[in-house]
Amino acid sequence: MEYKAENISFSYARKKIIDNISMKFEPAMFYGIVGPTGCGKTTFMDILLQYKKPESGKIILNKQNLLKYKKKEIAKQIALVPQNYVINFPFTVKEVVIMGRYPHISRFSTPDTDDFKTVHYFMEKTETLKFKNRLVTQLSGGERQRVVFARALCQNTPILCLDEATSNLDMRHSIELLNIAASGVKSKSRTIIAIIQDINLAAMFCDHIIFMKNGKIAAQGKTADVLNENNIKKVFGVNTKIYFDKYSNSKQVVFKK
């Protein structure tokens, strides 16, 4: 699966949000996008998903411009867990998760047994099965986030985008959900592109980190190579100390008051 961004630029109200970004995403890799707020991370992801059209440049998926794809075809290739999730209508949890299968089911068909198996599997994994009949409008932020996570996993796509997907979750669920997502990386050659605020979570899960600042890629490369004091200072303007932590088996970043 070839997936890359070529010379992407995007402006909003004459302000350049994305400034000539090129990036290639490989299969079986977990990519983390980190950067200060307002650096264009979410906009970049919106463009990767064809939710926003780039001003210039293009996204290539399987040797073809993403613009040439139908929305439904994209939904079979790329899934998204968005941030700030609000649902105004009282669908049940189960109904919402089944929607993840819609790209695979034609408009007037009903889900078959395989669809339900997939739904059941991911609801169990995300621990949403126990409240399958509750209304999404009544869930807590974290519960809702897990439901949406389950829905995106049900899309069973080769590429999964996470836009601060764990921001509403407690420690345990953050780690568990990222583990579920990450398990598909090696076993199914899945590509994960995750915007992550928590630099230490990013350090634990990502194979590759992309530092963004002012709409540009400030640094990118293997986590082991690019996650260092200099880059953090350059991108976030924060002094840190970075060391290899045996317990988490990853680099970890510590801060000072």
User: CB neighbours of 109 closer than 8 A, spacing ≥ 6?
Assistant: none
Residue 78 is a binding residue for other proteins (CB under 8 A): yes
Determine the Cα–Cα distance for residues 157 and 205; give it in Å rounded to an integer: 19
- Are 164 and 195 in contact by the 8 Å Cβ rule? The answer is yes
Return the number of other C-beta atoms located less than 10 Å from residue 111's C-beta.
15
Q: Token match 């463009």: residue?
A: 47
Residue 224 is a binding residue for other proteins (CB under 8 A): no
Binding residues among 29-68 for other proteins as defined by CB under 8 A: 46, 49-51
Structure tokens at 60: 């290539």
Residue 79 is a binding residue for other proteins (CB under 8 A): yes
Residue 162 is a binding residue for other proteins (CB under 8 A): no
To other proteins, the closest distance from the beta carbon of 190 in angstroms equals: 16
Nearer to other proteins, 4 or 76 (CB): 76
Binding residues among 100-139 for other proteins as defined by CB under 8 A: 100, 102-103, 107, 113, 116-117, 119-121, 123, 132-133, 135, 137-138
Site mask for other proteins (CB under 8 A), range 231-250, x = bound:
--------------------
DSSP lists the bridge partners of residue 160 as 79, 192
Residue 209 is a binding residue for other proteins (CB under 8 A): no
User: Which residue spans within the chain are E strands per DSSP?
Assistant: 3-12, 15-25, 30-34, 56-61, 64-65, 78-81, 159-163, 191-195, 208-213, 216-222, 240-245, 250-255
**For binding to other proteins (CB under 8 A), which residues are involved?**
46, 49-51, 70-76, 78-80, 82, 85-92, 94-96, 99-100, 102-103, 107, 113, 116-117, 119-121, 123, 132-133, 135, 137-138, 148, 152, 155, 161
